[in-house]
Amino acid sequence: MEKTLQQLERSTSKKTITEGGFESLEIGQRKNAVISVLLNMGVNIVSPNVKNVITVRSASNLDEVEEAESIALDGTHVLIRIKFSGNNIESVKVPPHSEWENRFKSIATRDEVFKLFANILVSDPKAYVRNISADSHQIKLNEITEGDRRLLKKYDAWEMNRDNKMGYWHFRLEFSNDILEKIIVQHSPEELP
C-alpha cells in the first residue's frame, strides 16, 4: 500500500500559473466570466476561501489572526470554528455533547476566545489556529443564487475539484480586485485515497 501511495504521489503534478492560462481560464478574467468558464470545464462546486491563510502554532503569535472575521482551532480531538461580529462571537461550531460545548456557553467575546486558545496552544503541541472564510459553504455553480454570487465576490480565493478521463484535478484560483491573478492546478491520473 505504501509503495502504491508513493507511486501516486510521484505521478501527481502541481503547477502555478500567473501568466496565460489553463484550458479556458485566463489570467485577467473577471470573477463573473470565471464562473461561466468553470461550468464549461465541468466544475460544478466551488468553495470560497481566504486568500492569505495564516496558521499560528504559538500563543505568542495569536495577534496575527486576532482581527480575522472567522477562525478555526484544530487540535487533538477537537475542531472549533468561530465567527465574530466586532468583538462579540456571532457563532460557534464545536463538537456536540463535548466539554467544548459547555466551555463556550460562558464565552462571549473575542478576547475571551483568544485567552482560551492561548491556553490550548500552550498545552497541546499539535494544536493550531488559522483564519478561515466566515460564510463559506460549497456553491453549486449550476444553481447559483445572488447570495452565492455575493459570497464569491467577497472572497479572493476559490477552490474546486473535478475529475474526467484525464484524472483528478484540484484548482485554487486567486483574485485581486475581482481579477484572476493566479491559478494553482494539481493533477493526479488516479484518485488519491
For the segment 151-187, what is each residue's pLDDT rounded down to a tens digit? 899 889 999 988 777 778 889 999 999 999 999 998 8
pTM score, two decimals?
0.74
pLDDT of 33-64, one tens digit each? 999 999 998 898 999 988 988 999 999 999 99
H/E element, 103: helix 99-103
8-state DSSP, 178: T
In a shared domain, residues 143 and 168: yes
Residues 106 and 62 placed together within one structural domain of the fold: yes
- For the chain, the domain total comes to 2
Compute the mean pLDDT over every residue in the chain, rounded to the nearest whole number: 87
144 and 176 in a single domain? The answer is yes
Q: Which domain holds residue 33?
A: 13-50+135-188
The pLDDT value recorded for residue 7 is 57
Q: 99 pLDDT exceeds 90?
A: no
Neighbours of 174 (CB within 10 A): 17
- Residue ending a domain, among 83, 98, 131, is 131
101 and 165 within one domain? no
Same domain flag for 20 and 63: no
The SS3 call for residue 158 is strand
Q: In terms of Cα–Cα distance, which of 44, 34, 41 is closest to 140?
A: 44
* 4 assigned to some structural domain: no
**Would 2 be classed as within a structural domain?**
no
User: Is residue 19 domain-shared with residue 63, that is, in the same domain?
Assistant: no
